[in-house]
Structure 1
Amino acid sequence: MSASADSTVGHAGHTVQTGRERGQAVPGPDPVCLVTRFTAVDDAAARGLLDELRAIEGSVVAEYGHLTYDVFADQDHPLDLYVIETWAGATDAQRHEDLVLGNGTVQRVMPLLTAPLRTLTLLPVATDSAGATYRPAPVRAQSGSNDKEAEQE
């Protein structure tokens, strides 16, 4: 993850597992993308949050089922950071969410944020050559970790 000092927009390090050995995850037929929004209270908090995201990157990319981990800053709102992760399947994504909720990561970053974390779970939508769209069945949502659930609360 790298960002220049004069840039508020940046791709902070696209990481893909390489050199997979037998038994390691590869993209399944239904990969899952998690998009989490972090809104920092100020510039110092945004820098601290970016440091935290850099620090946990190594453990995230080592998790079974991990495919990508990217950090972005919103060009128009530099205090808004987004982590976009891709997992081989719903089970891997759920395992990761459970780990992050249970290992203290969320509690460490909460003082840096103006609002609770907002995570969207995105599933692939395929279209056939005739243009018909197939929608996957919904994935079990975790309480408080989904935008729709947060809006209903």
Structure 2
Amino acid sequence: MSPSADSTTGHTGGTAHSGRKPAPAVPSPVCLVTRFSAVDDTAARELLDELRAIEVSVVAEPGHLTYTVFADQDDPKDLYVIETWAGAADAQRHEDLVIGDGTVERVAPLLTGPLRTLALRLVDTDGTPHQPAPVTGHAGPNGKEAGQQ
């Protein structure tokens, strides 16, 4: 039996040796890109303060790799957080935390609309398949998850 493209054993083909355990699945990094569109300049400054506070705590979370805040060059009221996690479970744990601790609810009045989060998976150029990250996205101020229309 040959492994399928979505195999998580790390096996790339050939014959499996009986009695030999398959290599453990290695989680693929997940990158979350979240857009925060502030209602005005004052809200953008408050939002930036909130994102800086989150950065201080996020570095201690399991699986955290990076957390960076960017502002749109043409419209500094549009802020983007780009975070990288070791795997989908770590990214989901983080999202559950910021939703559960009230952060999303706290920043909602500062925003023009719901948060928009993209969950990106690593695509290797060497042909190694990676699994899509089953991350649902931050809940927006209207209670819907980001990306839902």
Q: Deviations over 1:108-153 (max 9, x none)?
A: 000000010000001000112xxxx555333324274443xx2xx3
The aligned residue for residue 83 of structure 1 is: 81
**What pairs up with 1:3-152 in 2 under 5 angstroms?**
30-128=28-126, 136-142=130-136, 144-147=144-147, 150=148
CA contact (8 A) 1:121 1:146 kept: no
- SS for the counterpart of 2:59 is helix
Bigger mean CA offset, 37-46 vs 50-59? 50-59
Bigger mean CA offset, 70-79 vs 135-144? 135-144
CA RMSD of aligned residues (A): 1.7
- SS for the counterpart of 2:42 is helix
TM-score (norm 1): 0.71
In structure 2, how many angstroms separate the alpha carbons of the residues matched to 1:78 and 1:52? Answer: 16
Q: Which protein has the larger Cα radius of gyration, Structure 1 or Structure 2? A: 2
The code of the aligned residue for 2:116 comes to R
* 1:35 shift after superposition: 0.5
In structure 1, how many angstroms separate the alpha carbons of the residues matched to 2:133 and 2:56? Answer: 27
**Unmatched 5+ residue regions in structure 1?**
1-27
Identical amino acids, percent of aligned pairs: 69
The code of the aligned residue for 1:58 comes to V
TM-score (norm 2): 0.73
Bigger mean CA offset, 80-89 vs 134-143? 134-143
The aligned residue for residue 9 of structure 2 is: none
CA contact (8 A) 2:121 2:131 kept: no
* 1:98 shift after superposition: 0.7
